[in-house]
Each structure stands twice: as C-alpha cells, then as structure tokens.
Structure 1
Amino acid sequence: MSRNALTILVVEDHPTIARQIVTFLDGLKWQTDHAATGALAIELATREPYDVVLLDLNLPDLDGLEVCRAIKARAPCDVPVLMLTARDAFEDKARGFNEGADDYLTKPFDLRELALRCEALTRRGQLHISQEMRVGPLTLLPREKRALYDGAPVPLTLIGFRILSMLCAVYPQAMPRSALMHELWGANPPDSDALKSHIYALRKQLELAGGGKMVVTIPQLGYRLALDGADHV
C-alpha cells in the first residue's frame, strides 16, 4: 500500500530505539531527522516545518513536557507531537495531553502502529482546514457537521460525524482505537464500550444510506473505512 512521504523529527536518546524508528521510517521513504537531546529537538523543530514530532519524555537534559511546550509555542507551523514513553499511568498521559501532546504511544510499541498514528495526525490536520472532503461516495462538510452518501444526507450524531471524519481523514489507513478515543474524549475517556456503541450506530446509519458495511474492525488496532469491499467486519 503506497504512503505519502512525511517529514518526521525523532526525539529519542536511547540509541537502539532511535535507530529502529529511523530505519523503519526511512524504509517507508519518509524523511527523518534525529535529536538525542531536548535542546537539539527544540532547535530543529523551531527551524524546520516537520509533519510530526515523535517525542520521548525521558531525555537527558530537559523534561519531555518542557520540550513539548517549547515546540508548540515556537514551531513555524502547528506541528503534531506524538509522545513516546514507558509511563503508562493515567496521570502521566493527562499531563502530556495538557501540555499540548496530540497523541500518546506507550513503549514498547509496534512500528507499524507508529506509522499509522503519524499518518492519522497529518491527515487529521488537513481535514480540520478543509471546507469539504470527499472519499469515494462520501462527502463530509466539516463546518456544517454533515455527511452525504451519493449526495443524500446521512443522519449522524455529532460523535458519529466526528468518527466518520477521522476515518475519512486517514483513509485508506486504519485509525487506532486509542487515538479515536483521545480525539473524542481527551484525557478522560469512558470505557471502551462507549466507542463500540458509537461505531455500531455509525455502521447502521451508513448501511441505511446504502453504504453497506463501510466501517470495519482491524483486530488489535482500530477501525478503517472499506470502500472496496475487500475487508470484513
């Protein structure tokens, strides 16, 4: 599956982890820069327009949250920050989001999921500035919070529209379940059954509109749109 080339800043002081990430992303033909310190990360991120910053919280010179604040305040564009850390307590995640992090991935992680999250962050940003988005028979009107299927309105709840918007933004890739929950509910998500209920309702509305089984589950990852009929729920 082809991927759009992204420009990524990898902020990681552990040599082995940094090398694994950079090698994997280089294999996708993405452009990567590496910073092993917070000071170098801030210097690079405030000088270059990256698509995503992958930020380890445990750095030798500065706290990762301090680095996140500096990048968000001084970067030449609104660059998404994906935090990478072994800290998995709720309080740690809440602090990261409160300091401006756009997503959070706990170590150890699958490098394929890391790439999906990077793409989701960049595509999501494109959706936010677009007045209209079309994916196959779907048309999304973000300002009006409306969706059309083959030109006909699809009656969706606000959360249903937001879920569909995120799935369209990353199509044909999958949207990780954790990323969906963070986008919908921030640092205080409900239990996972709430997301399942909204996905169920969205599926039903799309089926009633003639879209068939368009929202499919990717086991142990999340959800994606299937416009070619090749996937199974």
Structure 2
Amino acid sequence: MKVLIVEDDCAIAANLYDYLEGSGYAVDLASNGNAGLKMALAESWDAILLDLSLPGLDGLTLCRRLREEAGRDTPVLMLTARDALDDKLEGFVHGADDYLVKPFSLKEVGARLGALIKRYRGRVATMDLRFADVRLDLSTMSVERAGRAVKLPPKCLQLLRILMQSPHRTFSRAELESEVWGEALPDSDTLRAHVYTLRRALCGPDETDVIETVHGIGYRLAASSHDAK
C-alpha cells in the first residue's frame, strides 16, 4: 500500500517514514504544500498524512483542492499542533477524514491509517489476503501462517503483498524489483536474498514452500494439494 506524507518538520517526517516503511507501506515524502499537491495528483495513493501548517500551500487549502478541484477521495489523515475544536471542525469541512494532534503516538498513526484505508470505498474484504494457510492483514501488515505469527522485514512484506494480490501469477524479477525498490534498483542478488528470507520465515517445521521459482523468469505463489485444502 502506498502512503504519501506531506510534512515540513524533518524529524516528524523521518519518524513517520521509518515507522510506516517498517510496517510494510511504500512511502514517499513532500516537505511543502505545493509539492504535496503535485505528488498527490500525480499518483494513486491509499492514504495521505497531511500536516496542517505547510509552507507554500497550507494543508487545509491542499485538502480542499484535492477534493473540490481534482475530485480525489483518497483518505486524508490530518496532522496538526492545533487542538481546538474549531480547528478540527475546519479540517473536516475542508475534506479531512481524520485528525491527529501533535505530539502523537506512531502506533496510533498506524492504527488510524489502517482503519481509514480499510474503510476507503468499502474495501473491507480486500484488507485480508489469504493464500493456502498464509494470511496477510493489509490494515496492520501482519502475517500469519496456520495461525502462527510470521515476522518479516519491510521489503519482504512488500514482496509477499505483491505475490498474494495475484496468486498463481508469475512475476518477473524486473517487475518485483521495480515494485519494491522503485527507481533505486538493487543489484542482481538483492531480490534473491529477500525471497530466500521470505521463504525461511514462512516455512516452519513440516510446512511446504508456497513460493515457486519459475526458472529464467521470476517467482509466483503455488500451493501443494495439501496446502490448498
């Protein structure tokens, strides 16, 4: 899932970026309102974290233009140091979906963000991906296999999400590298190393490998007849 952070405070932006990326989100940053609006319109985002006080274009104006001029319904979680009721109401009037007052807990940001995305256009069912006995909750980016929790690093979470969203489809190495690393493409062994890490984490004792290597092409999810039951 892709999240845009529009925040001019470098420390807050860095903390949000690290936390969300560590939770498996694909994250990008804008440090002023004009850049934020341009990025919000240039791509499709699952949610936007938007600071209220921004240089160039304030958060309220950005949100209003996103809604009224561009017709975008992307969920917006507004971040601000203003805690008066009138300030919150003004945020909602301009199109914000939720509101967090600084300082805030990163865990609360994650929880509210997950809830917003889960409600977005009523896509509740799509927030829970399943393949064989593997389950990925997209709202929390948590993984289970046969009921046991599976801990994965961020890039492996992204790989698993991509594979689980199109099970049985073969993804080329170039596709996976582009989806996970973007323009900063890794060296030739990086993808292989991450797939190996993902496999080891998913495969406990007596569990079969659900990731199949398609030689000369890439990878796909493929369950054995036992796993598919």
**TM-score, normalised to structure 1's length?**
0.52
Q: How many residues align?
A: 132
Q: What amino acid maps onto 1:45 in structure 2?
A: A
Tell me if the contact between 1:38 and 1:67 (Cα under 8 Å) persists in the aligned partners. yes
Secondary structure at 2:20's aligned position in 1? helix
Select 1:33's aligned residue among 28, 32, 51.
28
Alpha-carbon distance change, 76 to 93 in structure 1, aligned in 2, over 3 angstroms? closer
Tell me if the contact between 2:33 and 2:58 (Cα under 8 Å) persists in the aligned partners. yes
Counterpart residue number, 2:113: 118
Tell me if the contact between 1:10 and 1:34 (Cα under 8 Å) persists in the aligned partners. yes
Distance 1:7 1:93 in 2: 25
List gaps (5 residues or longer) in structure 1: 1-5, 136-169, 174-233
Encode CA deviations 1:82-122: one digit per residue, 9 max, x unaligned: 10001000010010001110000000111111011111011
Distance 2:108 2:97 in 1: 15
What pairs with 1:149-168 in structure 2 (closer than 5 Å)?
A: none
Cα deviation for residue 75 of structure 1 reads 4.8
Cα deviation for residue 73 of structure 1 reads 3.0
Residue 72 (str. 1) matches residue 105 (str. 2): no
Tell me if the contact between 1:45 and 1:75 (Cα under 8 Å) persists in the aligned partners. no
Q: What amino acid maps onto 1:50 in structure 2?
A: W
Residue 92 (str. 1) matches residue 99 (str. 2): no
List gaps (5 residues or longer) in structure 2: 129-138, 143-229
Distance 2:120 2:70 in 1: 15
Q: What amino acid maps onto 2:81 in structure 1?
A: A
Distance 2:71 2:14 in 1: 27
Distance 2:42 2:141 in 1: 32
Secondary structure at 2:42's aligned position in 1? coil
Alpha-carbon distance change, 34 to 172 in structure 1, aligned in 2, over 3 angstroms? closer
Q: What amino acid maps onto 1:80 in structure 2?
A: P
Counterpart residue number, 1:102: 97
Higher relative contact order (CA 8 A, sep 6+): 2
Tell me if the contact between 2:60 and 2:94 (Cα under 8 Å) persists in the aligned partners. yes
Distance 2:66 2:24 in 1: 25
State which structure, 1 or 2, has the greater radius of gyration over its C-alpha atoms.
2
Cα deviation for residue 64 of structure 1 reads 1.3
Residue 83 (str. 1) matches residue 78 (str. 2): yes
Encode CA deviations 1:137-160: one digit per residue, 9 max, x unaligned: xxxxxxxxxxxxxxxxxxxxxxxx
